[in-house]
Amino acid sequence: MYMKKISYGRQYITDEDIEAVVKVLNSDYLTQGPKIPEFEDAFAKKVGAKHAIAVSNGTSALHISALSLGVKTGDNVIVTPMTFVASANCVRYCGGNVCFCDIDPDTFLIDINKLRQMITSKPKGYYKGVIFVDFAGYPVDSEAIRSICNDYGMWMIEDACHAPGAYFIDSKGNKQMAGNGVYSDLTVFSFHPVKHIATGEGGMITTNDDDLYYKLRCLRSHGICQDNNRLTRCPGNWYYEMQDLGFNYRITDIQCALGISQLKRLDWSLQRRQAIAAKYNEAFKNISQIKTPKVAKNVFHAYHLYVIQTEKRKELFDYMRSINIFVQVHYEPVHLMPYYKNLGNKEGDLPVAENYSKHCFSLPMYPTLTDEEQEYVIEKILEFVK
Ligand SMILES: Cc1ncc(COP(=O)(O)O)c(C=O)c1O
């Protein structure tokens, strides 16, 4: 047995990262200081967006995204079921109804044809918006979703927590990076340690919309406005106004220093992830018991996860865990979580997502996974299936 535990994902912290954090600890600002706009600017530049707003985590990013777009009690919002629960919960925080749309069996992303059917079967205004996820790092064709949403006056939130650096080539031949704000109104990212960029906890929202940017900045910090141009009155420099009911969803300078340092390695991390995926693809290409993920030619996959599908999922899962390989299942579909079942969702509602979730299995995928470790993982899977 491999002595060291091999997990499905993990962070990579370098001496440079530690130095960057220590510098902030020795500085005047632990929070609300200069590292926050520095991280925001660097991140916006990386994904090609006009604005970026750094927040405490991906969940708070989703929550204030939904609020800034006006989600309120009774609003219907379409969400993919193949995601972490937070993508749907943000609608519930605002009192909205989550309407799930099934996934595509090849990409595991929201099924755009089913999405179109859902939207066009109701009058304009019935659905307010859609939250779709660049699941596992596979970027959704947001151009296609935009064309449907435009006709129905719907907004779009892209949950790119798995996909910083991912892109697809649109119908005009342009590279569209997740988070560049060209098609999606808002895009959210998470910096949880298993993600591409780790800040402990942390999140980011990107947008090209000036008004949404302003609203999000207020909602992140108690709904307080300090922008002179937007105050209702200005008796002096001490003055600030609470204009909306916001939260303390701020990130710290300590976390942002780590984020800035980690962002510099994003391209390297993506290349490593691509190489690891290519090696898994090659190893399993003739193994009928293992279905590997398919990726279209016009897509750059960020490979947060490398998901295989197998009939003997439980047996393989238990076996891998017993030999210290901490594989994981992504995900049980959100609509079958007891909370969402209590709201009226049931088994059989979304057959593709349900079938996928019975067979899916995430293999170790992180940039510091060594060749030796990956070969060991492959060898054990091949031994098991033969
Ligand atoms: C797709 C997706 N959305 C949202 C989140 C929530 O992010 P966070 O854990 O930073 O709150 C996650 C985190 O696991 C995620 O995977």
- pLDDT, residue 2, reads 63
**To test ligand 1's pocket by mutation, which of 135, 190, 196 has the most ligand atoms within 8 angstroms of CB?**
190
Q: List pLDDT tens digits, range 213-225.
A: 999 999 999 999 8
Regarding the beta carbon of 269 and ligand 1, being less than 6 Å apart is answered no
Closest Cα to atom 7, ligand 1: which residue? 58
In this structure, the answer to whether residues 156 and 179 fall within a common structural domain is: yes
Instruction: Tell which of 231, 247, 263 closes a domain.
Output: 263
pLDDT at position 383: 96
Here the tokens at position 105 are: 């069996």
Q: Which of 263, 284, 309 is the last residue of a domain?
A: 263
- Residue 339 belongs to a domain: yes
pLDDT at 310 (0 to 100): 97
Centre of ligand 1 to C-alpha 336, Å, is 18
Note whether 278 and 306 are within 8 A (CB).
no
Q: Is the peptide bond before 331 cis (omega within 30 degrees of 0)?
A: yes
**161 C-alpha to center of ligand 1: Å?**
6
In the reported structure, the alpha carbon of residue 195 is separated from the centroid of ligand 1 by a whole-number distance in angstroms of 9
**Which residue is closest in CA terms to ligand 1's atom 5?**
58
> Distance between CA atoms of 270 and 227, rounded to whole angstroms?
38
Claim to verify: residue 226 and residue 356 sit in the same structural domain: no
Q: Single out the residue of 158, 161, 178 nearest to residue 58, CA to CA.
A: 161
Of 10, 21, 8, nearest to 259 by C-alpha is: 21
CATH of the domain at 342: 3.90.1150.10
Distance 210 CA to ligand 1 centre (A): 25
Binding site membership of 56 for ligand 1 (Cβ less than 6 Å): no
In a domain, 141, yes or no: yes
Closest CA to 251 of 306, 307, 190: 190
Protein residue closest via CA to atom 14 of ligand 1: 84
pLDDT of residue 227: 84
Whether residues 79 and 162 fall in one domain: yes
Choose one of 245, 263, 281: the last residue of a domain: 263
1 within some domain:
no
Q: Ligand 1 centre and the CA of 119: distance in Å? A: 26
Q: For a pocket test of ligand 1, which of 90, 161, 304 has the largest count of ligand atoms closer than 8 A to its C-beta? A: 161
The residue whose CA has the least distance to atom 8 of ligand 1 is 58
Domain total in the chain? 2
Q: Is the CB of 190 under 6 A from ligand 1?
A: yes
Ligand 1 atom nearest the C-alpha of 86 is 4
Whether ligand 1 lies within 6 angstroms of the CB of 9 is answered as no
Asked whether residue 331 falls in the same domain as residue 271, the answer is yes
Residue 199, ligand 1, Cβ within 6 A = no
- In three-state secondary structure terms, 290 is coil
Domain assignment present for residue 30? The answer is yes
Residues in the chain with pLDDT < 70?
1-2
Whole-angstrom CA distances from 81 to 8, 17, 163, 260, 379 are 21, 35, 17, 32, 33
170 plus 39 within the same structural domain: yes
Residue 240 CA, ligand 1 centroid: distance in Å: 32
Q: How far is the CA of 160 from the centre of ligand 1 (A)?
A: 9
Asked whether residue 41 is assigned to any structural domain, the reply reads yes
86: Cβ below 6 Å to ligand 1?
A: yes
Question: Are 227 and 110 in a shared domain?
Answer: yes
Residues 257 and 151 in one domain: yes
- Please state at what angle helix 253-263 crosses helix 15-25, rounded to 10 degrees: 150
Q: Is 11 in the pocket of ligand 1 (CB under 6 A)?
A: no
192 lines ligand 1 (CB under 6 A): yes
Same domain, residue pair 348 and 235: no
Tell me, using a 6 A CB cutoff, whether residue 71 lines ligand 1. Answer: no
Give the CATH number, domain containing residue 177: 3.40.640.10
Residue 235 CB partners (closer than 8 Å, separation 6+): none
Q: Rounded to 5 degrees, what are φ and ψ at 83?
A: -170, 175
User: Domain check: are 92 and 40 in the same one?
Assistant: yes
Per DSSP (E only), the strands in 238-357 are 241-242, 299-300, 306-309, 325-326
Range of the domain at 297: 266-385
55 lines ligand 1 (CB under 6 A): no
Instruction: Check whether residue 301 and residue 186 sit in a common domain.
Output: no
* 10 within some domain: no
- Within a domain: 182: yes
Which ligand 1 atom lies nearest to the CA of residue 60? 11
pLDDT at position 182 is 98
Residues 259 and 183 both lie in one domain? yes
Tell me, in angstroms, the distance from the centre of ligand 1 to residue 101's CA: 19
- Residue 226: what pLDDT? 80
Is the CB of residue 133 below 6 angstroms from any atom belonging to ligand 1?
yes
List Cα–Cα distances, 20 to 45, 260, 261, in angstroms.
20, 9, 7
| 229 domain-assigned | yes
Q: Is the CB of 142 under 6 A from ligand 1?
A: no
Cα–Cα distance list, 253 to 34, 221, 309 (Å) = 7, 15, 41
Select from 314, 325, 303 the least CA-distant residue to 7. Answer: 325
26 lies in the same domain as 147: yes
